[in-house]
Amino acid sequence: MKRRLFAMFLMLTVVTMLITACSGTTTGTSTSGTGGDAVGSTGSNTDKKAVKITYFNTSAEVNTMFENMFKRYNEIYPDVTIELIPTGIGEGQQEKLQSLYASGNAPTFMNVDPANVIEYEDHLLEFTEENAPWLSLAADGAVDGGTFGGKVLGAPWSVQGYGLLYNKRVVNEIFGEGNFDPKSINTRDALQAFLEKCEAAGVPGTMLHGANWSLGGHYLTLVYAVQGPKTSDGTGFIDKIKAGTVNIEDNPIFQGYMDTFDLLAKHNYNKADPLVGDFNKDIQAFGEGKCATFFMGDWAWTTMVTLENVDQEYGFIPVPWSNNPDDYGNTEVVMVLPKFQCINKSQSTPEQQQAALDALAWMLSEPEGQQFFIDAGFYMPYKNVRDDVVYNSMTTSISEYAQRGKTINLGCFSYISGDAWTETGNLMLKYLSGAINRDELAQGINNYWKSVK
């Protein structure tokens, strides 16, 4: 199946919108205004026969958000029932989706990774100007990310980023109020000095989440993405490993990131039990200030905001892989469109497909639908989002890197999903626990990519 290079959207319009919106540090709660008109209203639903549709969600941290969203949608349009098919954090999401398709129970529409869009390309409904006019409201370049084989098969809904989250209260207590500059962490040696100072103050320097999606899908992916600023730099490197013309252990960026990984593992809050993989427990500990940093993304806010007695102010620092501050990746954090909304056409009726189109129009382009995403802390790449939204501190920090042009192109993420992060992530977990050495890790990664057709 043709693999289209995952088009990145970090264009001036998106960045400008994000910077303008991220003017504060609290969650985006409703204050005033409607943020503009939607295109393609769902109002016609009231004239339709009762229909039931299903929704498969791979953003496990916001299952409750979707439950509440669909409950409200049913209140507005009682003839439409949306059943959520949730997945748990760390659950085999790709296997579950494959099982649903194989059993003839594919979801009507779904929230999935770019690689899933590629995998199920022949099963997905194409979004067009006629059936999805509301996509005209998407920020410049955002729809490109969901375009595969020349067809718009995925509708964007959030912009997210990741790196090393740091707890501002904890860091200020260690370094002194106003004395820490995240831009100073631009080499591995600088990161080491930072972590050692935290440890000297009695605070574990960082936290690694012991899950394959975090270490394989996010950390190891940095190795591919930082091969160069173009999407083809990352995907081309992977293709060379597949072809056997390159071995990952010979790449200095791989060795650099693994040296940094060893440093993080040394200062890991979870080092006594590095494979614990309890997302809620890790978020709680980080929010309570039990460690200074956490390798994670701004999606952590959606869980953080539900907790009591946790800090509210966070920022990001990069994950440097060398001691040259000019090396790409040492001063940047990731910013990406990580998920897409898609509609199944192969196992759904025309009525169900239309109901899904109407639901997405409400979710993504109408103020009440957008508000659910905003309240959960997501930045939405749509031009009609309320301009008075005040975003949380994590999203705001990512936006500040975008303003300075300091973001990593994660276009190769279309290769890094499902089986890729499961298999290579499991290898990373073995390495973290000491079950294999670096040479064995590299060999396992090489073998995995050579097995991918």
Per-residue pLDDT of the chain (453 residues; tens, 9 = 90+): 333 333 344 444 444 455 445 544 334 433 333 344 556 544 444 456 899 999 999 998 899 999 999 999 999 999 999 999 999 877 788 889 999 999 999 999 999 988 889 889 999 999 999 999 999 999 888 888 889 889 999 999 998 999 999 999 999 999 999 999 999 999 999 999 999 999 999 999 999 999 999 999 999 999 999 999 998 999 999 999 999 999 999 999 999 999 999 999 999 999 999 998 899 999 999 999 999 999 999 999 989 988 999 999 999 999 999 999 999 999 999 988 889 999 999 999 999 999 999 999 999 999 999 999 998 888 899 999 998 988 899 999 998 998 899 999 988 887 776 689 899 999 999 999 999 999 999 999 999 999 987
Does 55 fall in a domain? yes
Axis-axis angle for helices 231-243, 438-451 (nearest 10):
90
Amino acid found at 77: Y
- The answer on 346 and 432 residing in a single domain is no
Return the closest-CA partner of residue 429 out of 199, 4, 90. Answer: 90
What CATH number does the domain containing 35 carry? Answer: 3.40.190.10
* Total of domains in the chain: 2
- The answer on 248 and 207 residing in a single domain is yes
- The answer on 424 and 355 residing in a single domain is no
Buried b (16+ CB within 10 A) or exposed e, 207-242: bbbbbbbbbbbbbbbbbbbbbebebebbbbbbebbb
- The answer on 267 and 172 residing in a single domain is yes
pLDDT at residue 336, rounded to an integer? 87
Does 398 fall in a domain? no
HSE, CB side, 13 Å, CA atoms: give it for residue 112: 33
- The answer on 384 and 252 residing in a single domain is no
Does 122 fall in a domain? yes
> How far, CA to CA in Å, does 266 sit from each of 115, 196, 280, 432?
33, 10, 22, 10
- The answer on 331 and 283 residing in a single domain is yes
pLDDT at residue 9, rounded to an integer? 40
- The answer on 122 and 197 residing in a single domain is no
- The answer on 378 and 246 residing in a single domain is no
- The answer on 166 and 154 residing in a single domain is no
Does 181 fall in a domain? yes
pLDDT at residue 238, rounded to an integer? 96
Question: Is residue 22 packed enough to be buried (19+ CB in 10 Å), middle (13-18) or exposed (0-12)?
Answer: buried
- The answer on 422 and 364 residing in a single domain is no
Calpha distance 349→351 (Å, rounded): 5
Q: Which residues pair with 340 in a beta bridge?
A: 112, 156
> 53's torsion region: left (phi>0), alpha (psi -120 to 50) or beta?
beta
- The answer on 327 and 269 residing in a single domain is yes
Q: Is the pTM of this model over 0.85?
A: no
pLDDT at residue 93, rounded to an integer? 86
Return the closest-CA partner of residue 311 out of 276, 272, 340, 285. Answer: 285
Does 209 fall in a domain? yes
Axis-axis angle for helices 252-266, 188-200 (nearest 10):
0
Calpha distance 106→189 (Å, rounded): 49
**Token digits of residue 438:** 């670096």
Distance of CA 395 to the CA centre of its chain: 12
- The answer on 243 and 370 residing in a single domain is no
HSE, CB side, 13 Å, CA atoms: give it for residue 53: 33
Does 318 fall in a domain? yes
Does 401 fall in a domain? no
pLDDT at residue 44, rounded to an integer? 45
Does 22 fall in a domain? no
What φ, ψ does residue 339 adopt, rounded to 5°?
-140, 155
pLDDT at residue 310, rounded to an integer? 96
The boundaries of the domain holding residue 43 are 27-159+338-389
pLDDT at residue 418, rounded to an integer? 62
Amino acid found at 176: G
